[in-house]
Amino acid sequence: MRFLLRFKICVSFAVLLTLCVMISFVSINTINQVMETEKFLKDKQNSINKTKMLYQIAEAKNIITVVTVAVVVFGSTLIYIINKMIKLKLQQQLDKIGETEKLASLGRLSAGVAHEINNPLADASLNIELLKDDLKNNIIDDSFRQKLCSVEWDIDRVSTIAKELLQFSRSSDPVFVQLNLNGIINSSLVILSNKLQYLTVNKRLSPVPDIIGEPVKLEQAIVNILKNAAESMNEQGDIFITSSYNKGYVMVEITDSGSGIDDEYMSKIFEPFFTTKKVGTGTGLGLSITYGIICQHNGDIKISSIKDRGTKVVLSFPLRIPNG
Q: For the residues of 64-76, what is the DSSP string, one character each?
A: HHHHHHHHHHHHH
The residue ranges of every structural domain in the chain are 2-102, 111-169, 177-318
- Other beta carbons less than 10 A from residue 108's beta carbon: 15
Higher pLDDT, 14 or 242: 242
Q: What is the pLDDT of residue 4?
A: 47
How confident is the model over 172-206, as pLDDT tens digits? Answer: 566 789 999 999 999 999 888 888 888 999 999 99
Rg (CA), the chain: 37
Q: What is the mean pLDDT of residues 57-62?
A: 64
For the chain, how are helix, strand and coil distributed in percent, rounded to 5?
60, 15, 25
* Fold exhibited by the domain 111-169: Helix Hairpins (1.10.287)
Q: H/E element holding 266?
A: none
Contact 285/220 with Cβ under 8 angstroms? no
Categorize the per-residue pLDDT at 32 as very low, low, confident or very high, splitting at 50, 70 and 90: low
Q: What is the pLDDT of residue 232?
A: 87
pTM, entire model: 0.54
Using CB atoms within 10 Å of the CB of residue 288, give its burial: 0 to 12 exposed, 13 to 18 middle, 19+ buried. buried
Question: Does residue 77 carry a pLDDT above 90?
Answer: no
Q: Which of 24-33, 157-166, 243-252, 255-264 has the lowest mean pLDDT?
A: 24-33
Strands 310-318 and 300-306: antiparallel
Q: What is the pLDDT of residue 110?
A: 60
Q: How far apart are CA 85 and CA 157, in angstroms?
A: 53
Higher pLDDT, 4 or 196: 196
Categorize the per-residue pLDDT at 293 as very low, low, confident or very high, splitting at 50, 70 and 90: confident
- Other beta carbons less than 10 A from residue 223's beta carbon: 19
Question: Does residue 28 carry a pLDDT above 60?
Answer: no
* Fold exhibited by the domain 177-318: Heat Shock Protein 90 (3.30.565)
**At 214, phi and psi to the nearest 5?**
-105, 110
Q: Return the percentage of the chain with pLDDT > 90, whole number.
A: 22
Q: What is the pLDDT of residue 151?
A: 79
Q: What is the 3-state secondary structure (H, E, C) of 1-46?
A: CHHHHHHHHHHHHHHHHHHHHHHHHHHHHHHHHHHHHHHHHHHCCC
Q: How far apart are CA 249 and CA 243, in angstroms?
A: 11
Give every CB contact of residue 202 below 8 A, 6+ residues apart in sequence.
238, 239, 240, 241
Higher pLDDT, 7 or 164: 164
Give every CB contact of residue 178 below 8 A, 6+ residues apart in sequence.
210, 211, 212
How confident is the model over 79-109, as pLDDT tens digits? Answer: 677 667 777 777 776 666 656 655 555 555 5
